[in-house]
């Protein structure tokens, strides 16, 4: 393996190397994945358990051909909190399950009608911009504090915060272009370790929760309550997660050099994604989705093995039951997490630009120019609209604008109503 620059999707990894490679993915997803249950005021244990199980199911359903880690979905946050505040968390669980079920139905529809429609509703000029937004929209959270971002652009930031952030990101960048052989596959893990040690030197790590945690913990299971109104309120999230899923599969396809929309097929990956959400909601967890952070890790390291992803899933399951391990990873400061995600989100944004280049998008065509421009401006301007009491903005709104414009141009072209004909 040391002689290979790329570790393929189905390449097996020696046991001694599997743990550090899997831990790298675990660290990358952890901050964002536990943030969702924290915002929902839910014990993260059940979420880590279902994320791990969902990821293993995803790998199985896609025949081990699509490397993806399923973490907690942010697409359900706004809608979910509305339901939780008015009805309670168990009603939100019912809505999660219903949305996941409808997503599975959508997978069957895609299976029947194939994927040719994707180039109609999201042609390359739109898809490339949407993929870029996945990373670019998240860029701000990497430096504004919180569990998944560094505290370097706030009034409370200190020189220590900036130092830890810079040490982490510089290590990740230098490691990605200088490290060789096995070290070249774990630059993110090394960057996290160096950043963590730096944070320790500045006294920014508190081990008290680790010491006080019980050795064995049991996730808190809850049963859903199904309500038509709650499910109806949650329905718009299906469009969001579908758009996000397709974009993630496209960018992953570009990174690994395989068309995942064709093999194993978009119908399989969308079914696996939504089935995981449905299963998670049935026992008290939050919806799941393929994770941009882990896509970024693959882009940087060129390690695409599903065995590594499966290893990260098993670690996540173990963390749901082992208190000290859970608390130890939670002790990683946001300045360290922000340092690595700063690079990872940028890699995702670049992957979208790569898609535009690879597809040879012709910007002398005014339709392509308008599509890409409209998506970027809508996604990055901060503009938002209210839909059934839910604010749509960023990548979500940009994806909707892309679909509407693309369909409009398709119809106009079909009837020879544009100046391109």
**DSSP track, 22-44:** HHHHHHHHHHHHHHHHHHTT--H
Q: Distance of CA 192 to CAs 6, 20, 137, 294, Å?
A: 22, 12, 23, 14
Residue 20, pLDDT score: 92
Q: What are the tens digits of pLDDT across the range 194-225?
A: 999 999 999 888 888 888 888 888 888 999 99
User: 94 or 338: whose pLDDT is higher?
Assistant: 94
**Least confident piece of the model among 70-79, 139-148, 171-180, 222-231:** 139-148
Q: What are the tens digits of pLDDT across the range 7-58?
A: 899 999 888 889 999 998 988 887 778 778 877 878 788 999 999 999 999 9
Tell me the residue length of the chain.
421
Residue 211 exposure: Cα atoms within 13 Å on the Cβ side: 4
Burial status of residue 262 (CB atoms within 10 A of its CB: 0-12, 13-18, 19 or more): exposed
Residue 372, pLDDT score: 92
Per-residue pLDDT band at 145 (split at 50, 70, 90): low
Residue 399, pLDDT score: 81
What mean pLDDT, rounded, does the chain reach? Answer: 85
Q: Which of 162, 170, 137, 183 is nearest to 20 (CA)?
A: 183
**Coil, helix or strand at residue 406:** helix
236-256 helix and 394-414 helix, angle to the nearest 10 degrees: 80
Residue 2, pLDDT score: 46
Per-residue pLDDT band at 421 (split at 50, 70, 90): low
Residue 146, pLDDT score: 64
User: 326 or 167: whose pLDDT is higher?
Assistant: 167
User: 395 or 49: whose pLDDT is higher?
Assistant: 49
Mention every residue, 6+ apart, whose C-beta is less than 8 A from residue 17: 1, 182, 185
Residue 3, pLDDT score: 47
Residue 389, pLDDT score: 58
Alpha-carbon span 44 to 34, nearest angstrom: 6
Backbone angles phi, psi at 385, to 5 degrees: -130, 155
- Average pLDDT rounded to a whole number, residues 386-407: 78
Backbone angles phi, psi at 6, to 5 degrees: -120, 135
Residue 387, pLDDT above cutoff 70: no
Q: What are the tens digits of pLDDT across the range 274-324?
A: 999 999 999 999 999 898 788 888 988 889 999 999 999 999 998 888 888
Alpha-carbon span 272 to 56, nearest angstrom: 10
Structure tokens given for 385: 């609209």
Element (H, E) at 46: helix 44-61
Q: What are the tens digits of pLDDT across the range 76-100?
A: 776 787 888 889 999 999 999 999 9
Residues of the chain above pLDDT 70, percent: 95
Residue 409, pLDDT score: 93
Alpha-carbon span 320 to 37, nearest angstrom: 13
Which range in 180-194, 309-323, 392-406 is most confidently predicted, on average pLDDT? 309-323
8 A C-beta contact, residue 188 and residue 340: yes
8 A C-beta contact, residue 82 and residue 390: yes
Backbone angles phi, psi at 387, to 5 degrees: -130, 110
Residue 388, pLDDT above cutoff 70: no
- Average pLDDT rounded to a whole number, residues 179-195: 84
Q: Please tell me the pTM assigned to this model.
A: 0.79
Per-residue pLDDT band at 131 (split at 50, 70, 90): confident
């Amino acid at each position: 393996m040391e002689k290979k620059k790329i570790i393929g999707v189905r390449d097996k990894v020696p046991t001694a190397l599997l743990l550090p490679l899997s831990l790298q993915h675990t660290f990358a997803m952890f901050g964002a994945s536990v943030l969702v249950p924290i915002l929902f005021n839910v014990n993260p244990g059940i979420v880590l358990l279902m994320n791990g199980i969902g990821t293993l199911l995803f790998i199985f359903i896609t025949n081990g051909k699509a490397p993806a880690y399923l973490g907690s979905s942010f697409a359900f946050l706004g809608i979910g909190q509305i339901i939780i505040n008015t009805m309670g968390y168990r009603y939100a669980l019912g809505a999660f399950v219903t949305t996941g079920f409808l997503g599975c139905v959508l997978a069957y529809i895609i299976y029947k009608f194939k994927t040719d429609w994707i180039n109609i509703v999201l042609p390359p000029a739109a898809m490339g911009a949407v993929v870029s937004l996945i990373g670019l929209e998240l860029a701000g959270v990497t430096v504004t504090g919180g569990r998944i971002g560094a505290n370097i652009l706030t009034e409370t930031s200190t020189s220590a915060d900036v130092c830890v952030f810079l040490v982490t990101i510089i290590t990740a960048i230098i490691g990605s272009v200088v490290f060789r052989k096995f070290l070249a596959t774990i630059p993110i893990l090394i960057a996290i370790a160096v950043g963590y040690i730096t944070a320790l030197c500045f006294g920014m790590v508190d081990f008290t929760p680790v010491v006080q945690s019980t050795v064995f913990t049991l996730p808190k299971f809850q049963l859903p309550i199904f309500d038509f109104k709650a499910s109806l309120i949650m329905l718009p999230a299906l469009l969001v997660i579908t758009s996000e899923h397709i974009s993630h599969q496209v960018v992953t396809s570009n990174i690994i050099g395989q068309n995942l929309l064709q093999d194993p097929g978009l119908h399989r990956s969308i079914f696996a994604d939504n089935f995981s959400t449905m299963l998670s909601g049935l026992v008290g967890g939050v919806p799941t989705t393929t994770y941009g952070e882990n896509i970024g890790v693959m882009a940087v390291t060129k390690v695409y093995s599903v065995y590594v992803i499966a290893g990260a899933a098993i670690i996540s399951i173990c963390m749901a039951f082992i208190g000290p391990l859970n608390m130890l990873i939670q002790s990683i400061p946001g300045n360290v997490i922000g340092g690595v995600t700063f690079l990872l989100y940028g890699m995702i944004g670049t992957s979208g630009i790569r898609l535009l280049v690879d597809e040879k998008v012709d910007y002398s065509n005014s339709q392509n120019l308008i599509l890409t421009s409209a998506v970027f401006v809508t996604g990055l301007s901060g503009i938002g609209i209210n839909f059934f009491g839910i604010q749509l903005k960023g990548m979500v709104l940009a994806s909707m604008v892309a679909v509407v414009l693309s369909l409009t141009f398709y119809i106009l072209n079909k009837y020879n109503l544009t100046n391109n004909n």
